[in-house]
Structure 1
Amino acid sequence: MSERINARLSRPLAEFVERMVGEDGLYETPSEYVRDLIRRDMERREGQIVQDAILSGYRDLAAGRVFASSGDFNADMAMLDRKETDGWQ
């Protein structure tokens, strides 16, 4: 199922879209261009979430907030909770 979105553009934005669409542009229709912009934004935001998680893990490692995994997810999560509660001491 698809939804319709209408947007008003200022003249400079509309002129830019016109240059991006058609025979000389990269896209066949304005809708195709907008869909591509939205997809790229989604990918960028998802990538930022991953990057933030990696950075958070690195900061934990640098601060010594690590422990050996038991291989059991539930046990590891319980250990993580205990470590957080005890202030990693």
Structure 2
Amino acid sequence: MAATSGYAIGPRRRHLEALAREVEARGLQATLTEDLMLRVVEPSSGHGILVVAMPMSRIRWSYLWAGGGQADADDPGGAAELIARALGR
């Protein structure tokens, strides 16, 4: 419940939706989960990762994913490129 509580729900959703559009533009599948994580899947291999958006300060957000992946949420296109590479694209 902590992941979606408080002031962060709206910004978290907006950041993840922006990232979803960017990864889909690169041929990946994106699904926003009920607990506000983005599941990104490379369709041909079926490999996927979960991405979260976390506030790093009151004004700065980052995307985080397994394996040490991190990107600035102000650059969803750059984050999508990193995620695509992590999934073998």
TM over 0.5: no
With the length of structure 1 as denominator, give the TM-score of the two structures: 0.30
Higher relative CO (Cα under 8 Å, sequence separation at least 6) belongs to: 2
Q: Which has the higher helix share?
A: 1
Q: Which has the higher strand share?
A: 2
